[in-house]
Structure 1
Amino acid sequence: MTVLLERPDTVYRRYTCVMADTTVKVDPAVRDRLMVLARERGMTMRDLIAELAGATPTQEELRKRYEETKAYCETHFGVTFTDEEHDRVEKIWQDLEAGRPVDSL
Protein backbone atom coordinates (compact mmCIF):
# COMPACT_ATOMS: atom_id res chain seq x y z
CA MET A 1 0.00 0.00 0.00
CA THR A 2 1.35 3.43 -0.93
CA VAL A 3 0.52 6.45 1.16
CA LEU A 4 0.68 9.83 -0.46
CA LEU A 5 1.15 12.80 1.81
CA GLU A 6 -0.43 15.97 0.62
CA ARG A 7 0.88 19.21 2.07
CA PRO A 8 -1.02 22.40 1.55
CA ASP A 9 1.25 24.48 -0.67
CA THR A 10 0.60 27.77 1.07
CA VAL A 11 1.36 26.49 4.57
CA TYR A 12 4.25 24.18 3.68
CA ARG A 13 6.08 26.64 1.46
CA ARG A 14 5.74 29.45 4.01
CA TYR A 15 6.99 27.15 6.78
CA THR A 16 10.01 25.85 4.88
CA CYS A 17 11.09 29.34 3.86
CA VAL A 18 11.78 30.28 7.48
CA MET A 19 12.55 26.94 9.09
CA ALA A 20 15.29 24.48 8.18
CA ASP A 21 15.01 20.97 9.58
CA THR A 22 18.13 19.09 10.56
CA THR A 23 18.30 15.59 11.90
CA VAL A 24 20.65 15.09 14.83
CA LYS A 25 21.41 11.51 15.75
CA VAL A 26 21.92 10.88 19.45
CA ASP A 27 21.77 7.86 21.71
CA PRO A 28 18.24 6.89 22.75
CA ALA A 29 19.06 7.81 26.36
CA VAL A 30 20.00 11.34 25.29
CA ARG A 31 16.87 11.63 23.16
CA ASP A 32 14.69 10.46 26.04
CA ARG A 33 16.34 12.89 28.46
CA LEU A 34 15.80 15.77 26.06
CA MET A 35 12.15 14.82 25.78
CA VAL A 36 11.73 14.72 29.57
CA LEU A 37 13.46 18.09 29.95
CA ALA A 38 11.27 19.60 27.23
CA ARG A 39 8.06 18.25 28.75
CA GLU A 40 9.01 19.50 32.22
CA ARG A 41 9.41 22.97 30.73
CA GLY A 42 6.20 22.73 28.72
CA MET A 43 7.95 23.07 25.38
CA THR A 44 8.86 21.05 22.33
CA MET A 45 12.22 19.35 21.97
CA ARG A 46 12.96 21.75 19.10
CA ASP A 47 12.39 24.73 21.40
CA LEU A 48 14.47 23.15 24.18
CA ILE A 49 17.44 22.58 21.88
CA ALA A 50 17.14 26.14 20.56
CA GLU A 51 17.07 27.44 24.14
CA LEU A 52 20.11 25.37 25.12
CA ALA A 53 22.04 26.52 22.07
CA GLY A 54 21.14 30.14 22.74
CA ALA A 55 22.13 29.93 26.41
CA THR A 56 25.50 28.27 25.79
CA PRO A 57 28.20 30.83 24.98
CA THR A 58 30.80 30.20 22.30
CA GLN A 59 34.52 30.49 23.06
CA GLU A 60 34.54 33.90 21.36
CA GLU A 61 31.60 35.09 23.48
CA LEU A 62 33.34 33.86 26.64
CA ARG A 63 36.56 35.66 25.66
CA LYS A 64 34.63 38.88 25.01
CA ARG A 65 32.77 38.56 28.33
CA TYR A 66 36.11 38.06 30.12
CA GLU A 67 37.64 41.14 28.50
CA GLU A 68 34.58 43.26 29.33
CA THR A 69 34.57 42.06 32.95
CA LYS A 70 38.29 42.69 33.29
CA ALA A 71 37.90 46.23 31.89
CA TYR A 72 34.94 46.91 34.21
CA CYS A 73 36.90 45.78 37.29
CA GLU A 74 39.87 47.92 36.28
CA THR A 75 37.68 50.98 35.66
CA HIS A 76 35.31 50.74 38.62
CA PHE A 77 37.35 48.97 41.29
CA GLY A 78 40.94 49.79 40.37
CA VAL A 79 41.76 46.10 40.17
CA THR A 80 44.31 44.98 37.61
CA PHE A 81 44.30 41.34 36.67
CA THR A 82 47.47 40.08 34.99
CA ASP A 83 47.69 37.15 32.58
CA GLU A 84 49.72 35.24 35.19
CA GLU A 85 46.95 35.72 37.78
CA HIS A 86 44.39 34.60 35.23
CA ASP A 87 46.38 31.44 34.50
CA ARG A 88 46.75 30.75 38.23
CA VAL A 89 43.02 31.11 38.85
CA GLU A 90 42.22 28.88 35.85
CA LYS A 91 44.52 26.19 37.32
CA ILE A 92 42.77 26.50 40.69
CA TRP A 93 39.34 26.06 39.02
CA GLN A 94 40.58 23.00 37.13
CA ASP A 95 41.92 21.52 40.38
CA LEU A 96 38.66 22.22 42.19
CA GLU A 97 36.58 20.67 39.41
CA ALA A 98 38.83 17.60 39.39
CA GLY A 99 38.62 17.25 43.17
CA ARG A 100 42.32 17.90 43.65
CA PRO A 101 43.51 19.78 46.73
CA VAL A 102 44.10 23.49 46.30
CA ASP A 103 46.93 25.16 48.24
CA SER A 104 45.46 28.65 48.43
CA LEU A 105 43.12 30.94 46.62
Structure 2
Amino acid sequence: MTALLERPEVVYRRYTVVMADTTVKVDPAVRDRLLVLARERGMTMRDLIAELAGATPTKEELQARYEATKAYCETHFGVTFTDEDHDRAEQVWKDLEAARPVDSL
Protein backbone atom coordinates (compact mmCIF):
# COMPACT_ATOMS: atom_id res chain seq x y z
CA MET A 1 0.00 0.00 0.00
CA THR A 2 1.42 3.37 -1.01
CA ALA A 3 0.37 6.64 0.58
CA LEU A 4 0.56 9.74 -1.56
CA LEU A 5 1.50 12.77 0.50
CA GLU A 6 1.26 16.33 -0.73
CA ARG A 7 4.26 18.56 -0.37
CA PRO A 8 3.89 21.08 2.50
CA GLU A 9 4.11 24.09 0.18
CA VAL A 10 1.13 22.79 -1.82
CA VAL A 11 -0.94 22.35 1.33
CA TYR A 12 0.15 25.76 2.60
CA ARG A 13 -0.74 27.44 -0.70
CA ARG A 14 -4.26 25.95 -0.59
CA TYR A 15 -4.65 27.07 3.01
CA THR A 16 -3.58 30.64 2.35
CA VAL A 17 -5.98 30.99 -0.56
CA VAL A 18 -8.83 30.42 1.90
CA MET A 19 -7.38 31.98 5.06
CA ALA A 20 -5.43 35.24 5.25
CA ASP A 21 -3.11 35.54 8.23
CA THR A 22 -1.99 38.76 9.79
CA THR A 23 0.56 39.06 12.54
CA VAL A 24 -0.37 41.42 15.34
CA LYS A 25 2.42 42.41 17.65
CA VAL A 26 1.41 42.99 21.27
CA ASP A 27 3.20 43.09 24.59
CA PRO A 28 3.85 39.66 26.11
CA ALA A 29 1.43 40.45 28.95
CA VAL A 30 -1.36 41.12 26.43
CA ARG A 31 -0.53 37.95 24.51
CA ASP A 32 -0.57 35.90 27.71
CA ARG A 33 -3.91 37.38 28.78
CA LEU A 34 -5.45 36.64 25.39
CA LEU A 35 -4.21 33.07 25.67
CA VAL A 36 -5.75 32.66 29.14
CA LEU A 37 -9.05 34.14 27.97
CA ALA A 38 -9.11 31.87 24.93
CA ARG A 39 -8.34 28.75 26.97
CA GLU A 40 -11.04 29.62 29.51
CA ARG A 41 -13.54 29.74 26.65
CA GLY A 42 -12.23 26.56 25.07
CA MET A 43 -11.20 28.29 21.85
CA THR A 44 -8.11 29.33 19.98
CA MET A 45 -6.62 32.79 20.29
CA ARG A 46 -7.57 33.34 16.64
CA ASP A 47 -11.22 32.59 17.42
CA LEU A 48 -11.14 34.78 20.55
CA ILE A 49 -9.82 37.76 18.62
CA ALA A 50 -12.42 37.22 15.90
CA GLU A 51 -15.13 37.07 18.56
CA LEU A 52 -13.89 40.25 20.23
CA ALA A 53 -13.73 42.07 16.91
CA GLY A 54 -17.23 40.93 16.01
CA ALA A 55 -18.67 41.94 19.38
CA THR A 56 -17.09 45.40 19.45
CA PRO A 57 -19.22 47.94 17.60
CA THR A 58 -17.72 50.61 15.37
CA LYS A 59 -18.56 54.29 15.85
CA GLU A 60 -20.96 54.04 12.92
CA GLU A 61 -22.70 51.02 14.47
CA LEU A 62 -22.94 52.79 17.84
CA GLN A 63 -24.49 55.84 16.16
CA ALA A 64 -27.03 53.66 14.36
CA ARG A 65 -27.86 51.92 17.64
CA TYR A 66 -28.29 55.31 19.34
CA GLU A 67 -30.60 56.57 16.60
CA ALA A 68 -32.69 53.39 16.73
CA THR A 69 -32.97 53.57 20.53
CA LYS A 70 -33.86 57.25 20.40
CA ALA A 71 -36.58 56.59 17.80
CA TYR A 72 -37.94 53.69 19.84
CA CYS A 73 -38.17 55.78 23.01
CA GLU A 74 -39.85 58.62 21.15
CA THR A 75 -42.36 56.27 19.51
CA HIS A 76 -43.17 54.01 22.44
CA PHE A 77 -42.67 56.25 25.47
CA GLY A 78 -43.36 59.71 24.10
CA VAL A 79 -39.93 60.87 25.26
CA THR A 80 -38.02 63.33 23.12
CA PHE A 81 -34.26 63.46 23.58
CA THR A 82 -32.52 66.70 22.78
CA ASP A 83 -28.86 67.24 22.02
CA GLU A 84 -28.53 68.72 25.52
CA ASP A 85 -30.01 65.53 27.03
CA HIS A 86 -27.48 63.49 25.09
CA ASP A 87 -24.58 65.68 26.20
CA ARG A 88 -25.73 65.50 29.84
CA ALA A 89 -25.98 61.70 29.69
CA GLU A 90 -22.48 61.50 28.20
CA GLN A 91 -21.17 63.66 31.05
CA VAL A 92 -22.86 61.39 33.60
CA TRP A 93 -21.12 58.34 32.09
CA LYS A 94 -17.77 60.13 32.18
CA ASP A 95 -18.33 61.08 35.83
CA LEU A 96 -19.28 57.51 36.71
CA GLU A 97 -16.20 56.12 34.97
CA ALA A 98 -14.00 58.61 36.84
CA ALA A 99 -15.72 57.79 40.17
CA ARG A 100 -16.88 61.39 40.53
CA PRO A 101 -20.17 62.25 42.22
CA VAL A 102 -23.06 62.41 39.77
CA ASP A 103 -26.01 64.76 39.98
CA SER A 104 -29.34 63.29 38.97
CA LEU A 105 -30.32 63.49 35.36
Aligned residues: 99
Task: Give the TM-score normalised by the residue count of structure 2.
Answer: 0.88
Whole-Å separation in 1 of the counterparts to 2:98 and 2:85: 20
Identity %: 84
Q: Does 1:104 align with 2:80?
A: no
Whole-Å separation in 2 of the counterparts to 1:103 and 1:70: 22
Give the letter aligned to residue 58 of structure 2: T
Q: Does 1:81 align with 2:81?
A: yes
Listed one character per residue, the Cα deviations across residues 11-55 of structure 1 (whole Å, up to 9, x for unaligned) are 333321121111111110110000000001000000000000000
Give the letter aligned to residue 8 of structure 2: R
Whole-Å separation in 1 of the counterparts to 2:77 and 2:13: 55
Task: Give the TM-score normalised by the residue count of structure 1.
Answer: 0.88
Listed one character per residue, the Cα deviations across residues 42-70 of structure 1 (whole Å, up to 9, x for unaligned) are 00000000000000000110000000110
Runs (4 or more) in structure 1 with deviation over 4 Å come to none
Whole-Å separation in 2 of the counterparts to 1:16 and 1:91: 47
**Which ranges of structure 1 fall in alignment gaps of 5 or more residues?**
1-5
Task: Write out aligned runs for 1:3-22 (5 A).
Answer: 6-7=7-8, 9=10, 11-22=11-22
CA RMSD of superposed structures (Å): 1.2
Whole-Å separation in 1 of the counterparts to 2:59 and 2:66: 10
Whole-Å separation in 2 of the counterparts to 1:37 and 1:75: 41
Task: Write out aligned runs for 1:1-105 (5 A).
Answer: 6-7=7-8, 9=10, 11-105=11-105
